[in-house]
Structure 1
Amino acid sequence: MTRIVLVTGTDTGVGKTVTTAALAAAELARGARTAVVKPVQTGIGAGPGGPGAAAGAVPETPDVEEVARLAGCSVHEWTRLAAPLAPDTAARLERVALPPIAQHAARLLAMATDHDTLLVEGAGGLLVRLDDAGGTLLDLARHLRDAEAEPSVVVVCRAGLGTLNHATLTVATLRAAGFEPAGLVIGAWPASPGLAERCNLEDLPRVTGTPLLTRIPEGAGAWDPDRFRTAAASWFAAR
């Protein structure tokens, strides 16, 4: 049975893309046929004059391109929006209709026959709206569960102050919906961690009751792909 892993964050900018790439690289190292899906990407193409763009804004690299470069896996992006906002807000500004969550679930299930592992990177946090009806990554998990696909969820969090509250809220929301998180990942572990970061290594699993799978070094997304892939296999070796 195909393994479907949803990668969410406690917030935006916590390291979901690098974590997704690392998970993909680890799966590929084990010989799994692996693909990464980004249902909705925002903040791309918002150059000068683009919808929702600030003056002089420079388009960012799409997350799937970063994943493909780092992990070397197959990647799929289904909707791209220019404004660096939540997907439903960006779509409203651009007058674009977002596909419903049920359609995302159906596409993933169709892909499952050709893959051993599908990794799905969300946008921002767990309850960010991904379609026009308010559907979220949590709703996507529900649709997949209803289809007996039994998705797992990895939660990416920050290393420093404030992460305990954000991680606890995300884990509690998942559990209230009947999902036990597969684990936490610190998306950017500093080279010189402070007191809060060092304490959070113990406190994150303690207060959430969820295992800490790994901590990814800050700046790993800029590494050479060979170095990244070798490291990723060791980061998730015990999974």
Structure 2
Amino acid sequence: MTRTFFVAGTDTEVGKTYVTAGLLASAAARGLKTAAVKPVASGCTETEDGLRNEDALQLQEAMTMDLPYQQVNPIALEPAIAPHIAAREAGRVLDVGRMAGVCRGVMSAGADLVLIEGAGGWRTPLGPRSFLSQLPRELDIPVILVVGMQLGCINHALLTAEAVRRDGLALAGWVANFVRDDMARPQENLATLQSLLPAPLLGIVPHDPGADFRRAAEHLDISPLLSP
């Protein structure tokens, strides 16, 4: 049975890709077949093979299935700006239905675990009346929340968890990712989040300047994601 989760962040630059790749590596260490999708990515670089995104390439490296880049990252946008603005400047329309179709293709490819990584925070716009949060709703899949451990993270985490629940989706788990090494009162913040977030803590990832997802995997426990 394929288990699929949408990985959301409390904000941009909170380590969604780093944690997603770590979760994939943790699953692979348990002998699971894994796949991932980054449906839309801005900040891509032009290569001889076309536009490529560093985050999507990292997911491609971390997963065990051999999928073509276009299936991992179907929508690649060059400017490192909000996706809906980058798409508008490129004359493209970001369509949730098309993204869902690509995701379903990966979900049916035979993996044990599929992780679909979002962009930015939960309410990242795709257009005038659409948001990326509509994708997990369309797919009806639970959410993993990456909390960037820094000042303000409690408010961001609780508001995101509330929005996920209001959208009718389950919060399957959350990860505390220390994006800084100088956070004041880290244990107190962790304790507050654990007492208020209605989902299991999948891991506490220490700050790693090298951002090696293999090291992140050592601090992650995917067991709650695999329980019936």
TM-score by length of 2: 0.83
Specify every segment of 5 or more residues in structure 1 that has no aligned partner in the other structure, as ranges. 47-58, 146-150
SS in 2 for 1:236: coil
Q: Secondary structure at the match of 1:88?
A: helix
Of the three residues 96, 101, 105, the one matched with 2:96 is 101
Partner of 2:85: 89
Trace 1:55-66 onto structure 2 (pairs within 5 A).
62-66=54-58
Secondary structure (helix, strand or coil) at the match of 2:154 reads helix
Q: What residue in structure 2 maps to residue 196 of structure 1?
A: 185
In structure 2, the CA distance between the partners of 1:180 and 1:97, relative to structure 1 (3 Å rule), is closer
Quick check: 1:34 aligned with 2:34?
A: yes
Larger Rg: 1
Question: Helix, strand or coil for the counterpart of 1:67?
Answer: helix
The 3 A distance-change label for structure 1 pair 194 and 124 is closer
In structure 2, the CA distance between the partners of 1:83 and 1:118, relative to structure 1 (3 Å rule), is same
Note if 1:21 corresponds to 2:33: no
Deviation at 1:208, TM superposition (A): 2.6
Percent identity between matched residues is 34
Residues 74 and 157 of structure 1: CA distance in aligned 2, closer, same or farther (over 3 Å): farther
CA gap of 1:74–1:136, structure 2 versus 1, over 3 A, is: farther
Q: Which runs of 5+ in 2 are unaligned?
A: none
| Aligned-residue offset at 1:137 | 3.3
2:217 match: 232
Work out the CA distance in 2 between the residues paired with 1:93 and 1:171: 32
CA distance in 2, matches of 1:87, 1:198: 35
- Separation in 1, partners of 2:219, 2:45: 35
Aligned residue in 2 for 1:168: 158
CA distance in structure 2 between the partners assigned to 1:221 and 1:72 by the alignment: 22
Size of the alignment, in residue pairs?
216
Pair 30,61 (structure 1): closer, same or farther in 2 beyond 3 Å: same
AA of the residue aligned to 2:162: A
Give, in whole Å, the separation in 1 of the partners of 2:64 and 2:178.
Answer: 21
Query: Under a length normalisation based on structure 1, what TM-score does the superposition of the two structures give?
Result: 0.80
The Cα RMSD (Å) is 2.6
- The verdict on how the C-alpha distance between 1:84 and 1:61 changes in structure 2, with shifts beyond 3 A counting, is same
What is the CA deviation profile of residues 73-111 of structure 1, one whole-angstrom value per residue up to 9, with x for unaligned ones?
54611111111111111111222232x111221222222
| Structure 2 equivalent of residue 51 of structure 1 | none
Query: Are 1:118 and 2:97 counterparts?
Result: no
Deviation (angstroms), 1:173: 0.4
Shift of 1:27: 1.7
